[in-house]
Structure 1
Amino acid sequence: MSRVAEGVSPLELADYQKAVRLVLRHPLITAAYPDTAALPAVRRWAEQLRTDLMDTLGYRLVTTADTARLQRVQDGLDPTRPAVTRAGRPFDRRRYAFLALAIAALGRHGTQVALGELAEAVAADAARIDGLGLDTARKADRDAFVDAVTWLTERGALGLADGSATAWAGDPERAEALYDIDREILTAIHHPTRVLQHLTSVTALLGTGSALSLSSGRAAQRRDQARRARRLVLENPVAYYHDADPGLVGQLRAPALTEDLERLTGLTVERRAEGVALVDTSGRLSDIRFPGGGTVAQAALLLGARISAAAQRTGRHAPELLSAPTAAERLAERARRIDGALPARGLLSELSAAVSGPQEPPPGYRPPADEDEPQAPGEPGPGPEEARHPFVTDSWLRGRLKEVIAEYGAGFAADLRADPDRLLDQALGLLAAMSLVTRVDGGALALPLLARYRGVTAQVRTRTSAPPPAEPRPAPTNDDTVKDPTP
């Protein structure tokens, strides 16, 4: 029997699970963010949350009088959860840089700061970084800086006392904004789990391989693998067996994983031949809704249905089957791109050479088993065979999207309808974020979960004024209904 929520009565279990979902969806909770009811709900269950999140996932929950901060363990580099601007667009590199510099600059101020003063401090630091810079005479730079400040304001690290950031972005000569600084929230935001000055690669921030030494016992290794397997299911739309480290496959198949995650989150774990998914039909935990509203989500669903149908073809019309990049290969490529921006010499490398910690085991490492010790339940067996997936070309995808626009474009946003290449890129990006396809050179690979949406149809209702979006409706299958697989 699962020991998750051991101290919670059956009558209060739903409230406890709601607090779990809340802190998992919002790793930083303050008196006002994401709403005024969130912090009291988490603080009520703080002790049980700390125990369960650590034991089950390896996450550490830090609570203070005004904040609750969840320190996650990252096992990979996930590009699908960016910070977003006031308009809901992902942060670019410049905005991330301004955000980091603003946090550093605020640490040198007192209890209040003027927006123009903060911009000057960030500009001075940005000028020392090749290729960055912040010129407040440029509207684009001011907008990017205000997006970073607004991100901090939404979380309560800054509180607007007077003026308007939007007015300052429009004309800094005529407008100003004054902010109160909440140092406790600012500290909770900037709470790295590693000493950043000692890092020479972004992979040092990850928990893959854990901090366990090579001499750790088998029980400790199994406990660490069980946590990694639960995180894999929780943090991804689906955990495919073929894509998991060999050391995790046995844990993914273990009944204990289902019992622990369902009792912790209140959601349903769904198992199929290809993998495991934590099903969130109501959006109580999901950061991305799919199927969802909006032109990109609707186009992605309709395009995905066509990809899935093509993947089922047989005979001479059958698509070519190709292997997808493995999780290790994707991690290595993303790390290479990020590490390319790190300084090659200087204080960073000197500190790294001077501070050498214990060697961590490589991903997937398993200590040699004792000859007389039987294999424990959940221990991995032989790794899965290489999986191959149906391949569709970029030209084929453009043709199918053209058909979608022709049939349903009356309900799409005009700017995306007029720019099919941008719509295709965003639709494929969403499908990839949901683990429905993998983008590769020259096209995309259809992953098993995409078959769920093979029977999608849609109907466009037009009005005399602005047309509403198309309403794709997945056709029911024989064994289930279409669900949102996002954790």
Structure 2
Amino acid sequence: MRRWRWASWPTRVAADAVRIDGLGLDTAHKADRDAFVDAVTWLTERGALTLADGSATAWAGDPERAEALYDIDREIVTAVHHPTRVLQHLSSVTALLDSAGALGMSAGRAAQRRDQARRARRLVLENPVAYYADAGAELLGQLRAPALAEDLERLTGLTVERRGEGVALVDTSGKLSDIRFPGGGTVAQAALLLAARISAAVQRAGRHAPELLPAPTAAERLAARARRIDAALPSRGLITELAGPDAESVYEESGDVGQEPGETRYPFVTYSWLRGRLKEITGEYGAGFAADLRGDPDRLLDQALDLLNAMSLIARVDGGALALPLLARYRGVTARVKTRTTAGPPSQTALFAVDTAKDPTP
């Protein structure tokens, strides 16, 4: 642990910042001092710095009279400060996400393996499920390795569930998830019931069996989202030239989540079929739905499909959706509309209960 006195650091950081085109730091300007304090606060929240005395905020208000003293945790600073590229040389989300391209072949095989293990952990941690069909050869071995489950369970306290098609980190508490599924509300309930109907339909055999089509890989879906964001960014001239390859080449070369040889195909259901199933669901359970969505089935269907897509249960494609393996988890769903008795006569309300029987072999 090392102690850091505030007095000289803003000046030293300012001297480094002016060397970076488009950055700069002038402590004579209040806005720049506030930005510097924001950066220090970010490091403090992550344990890299600990305030020992004084106040950084007070310094931002009056740099001539206020002072601050911090303790530095070098281990955390080292872990935090591992930039894989100079951010000022990036002008696109595509280049920012090119984690594989950031580590050159000269880094050594051990460093490359560590990087692949880190990317595999992030893939499982940041997504509802990591499908093996989406993983390139480099990541596939890491996803299947016992160390991945051991590391994630130790670091998060959650349970890693591994099936034939992929691996998922199960967060039953909902504390680490930004979207809960199954969940409450009209869209989530309609999506769950729709998931059960899709899952049942894809089990049909013979002439009623659904058509099998390839799904966009995770790399292609990520690249498409990145391109949509990048399309809205202004051109930055020279910086654009320094940013590197475009979206297509980045994801083809990265090996981060590329498709393995041998295309995987998934059952396809049409949009008209989905509309029909939602109509059935609304007719049976609509009393438990919000009135505005019950009266706008196309909007309800679109939002329900978006939720299923976000949870990697389906892949939305032109004309309908592809059923992904995790959808089988919700094959045995039952539901009922509850009634609430008020002071007057009994009335049916928008209370909706769903019980899920999880299929052990999705």
Q: TM-score, structure 1 length as denominator?
A: 0.53
Pairing 1:265–2:156 present: yes
CA drift at 1:349: 1.2
Pairing 1:467–2:339 present: no
| Residue in structure 1 matched with residue 308 of structure 2 by the alignment | 431
| Residue in structure 2 matched with residue 218 of structure 1 by the alignment | 109
Pairing 1:338–2:220 present: no
| Residue in structure 2 matched with residue 128 of structure 1 by the alignment | none
Distance 1:308 1:265 in 2: 30
| Residue in structure 1 matched with residue 325 of structure 2 by the alignment | 448
CA drift at 1:337: 1.9
Classify 1:363/1:227 alpha carbon distance in 2 versus 1 (closer, same or farther; 3 Å): farther
Q: Give 1 or 2: higher helix fraction.
A: 2
Pairing 1:298–2:186 present: no
Pairing 1:413–2:290 present: yes
CA drift at 1:403: 0.3
Within a 5 Å distance, the mapping from 1:35-434 to structure 2 comes to 62=48, 65=51, 198-344=89-235, 348-353=236-241, 383=260, 385-434=262-311
Q: Give 1 or 2: higher strand fraction.
A: 2
CA drift at 1:357: 8.3
- Provide the secondary structure at the position in 2 that maps to 1:462: strand
Classify 1:366/1:473 alpha carbon distance in 2 versus 1 (closer, same or farther; 3 Å): closer
Preserved contact between residue 455 and residue 474 of structure 1 (Cα < 8 Å): yes
- 1:36-79 CA deviation, whole Å, 9 max, x = no partner? xxx9xx97xx66xxxxxxxxxxxxxx55549xxxxxxxxxxxxx
Distance 1:247 1:335 in 2: 23
Preserved contact between residue 91 and residue 239 of structure 2 (Cα < 8 Å): no
The one-letter amino acid of 1:342's match is L
- Provide the secondary structure at the position in 1 that maps to 2:102: coil
CA drift at 1:327: 2.0
Larger Rg: 2
CA drift at 1:210: 4.9
Distance 2:131 2:240 in 1: 36
Preserved contact between residue 431 and residue 437 of structure 1 (Cα < 8 Å): yes
Structure 1 segments (4+ residues) deviating >4 Å:
62-66, 193-197, 355-358, 361-367
Distance 1:356 1:404 in 2: 49
Distance 2:349 2:315 in 1: 32
Classify 1:336/1:473 alpha carbon distance in 2 versus 1 (closer, same or farther; 3 Å): same
- 1:167-191 CA deviation, whole Å, 9 max, x = no partner? xxxxxxxxxxxxxxxxxxxxxxxx9
Classify 1:316/1:204 alpha carbon distance in 2 versus 1 (closer, same or farther; 3 Å): same
Preserved contact between residue 135 and residue 260 of structure 2 (Cα < 8 Å): no
Identity of aligned residues (%): 71
Preserved contact between residue 324 and residue 389 of structure 1 (Cα < 8 Å): yes
Distance 1:384 1:254 in 2: 21
The one-letter amino acid of 2:296's match is D
Classify 1:457/1:328 alpha carbon distance in 2 versus 1 (closer, same or farther; 3 Å): same
| Residue in structure 1 matched with residue 13 of structure 2 by the alignment | none
Preserved contact between residue 410 and residue 462 of structure 1 (Cα < 8 Å): no
Classify 1:204/1:406 alpha carbon distance in 2 versus 1 (closer, same or farther; 3 Å): same
Alpha-carbon RMSD across the aligned residues, in angstroms, is: 3.2
Matched residues, number: 283
Distance 2:115 2:143 in 1: 13
Distance 2:254 2:312 in 1: 28
CA drift at 1:290: 0.7
Flag structure 1 segments of 5+ consecutive residues without an equivalent. Answer: 1-38, 48-61, 67-109, 112-190, 368-379, 483-487
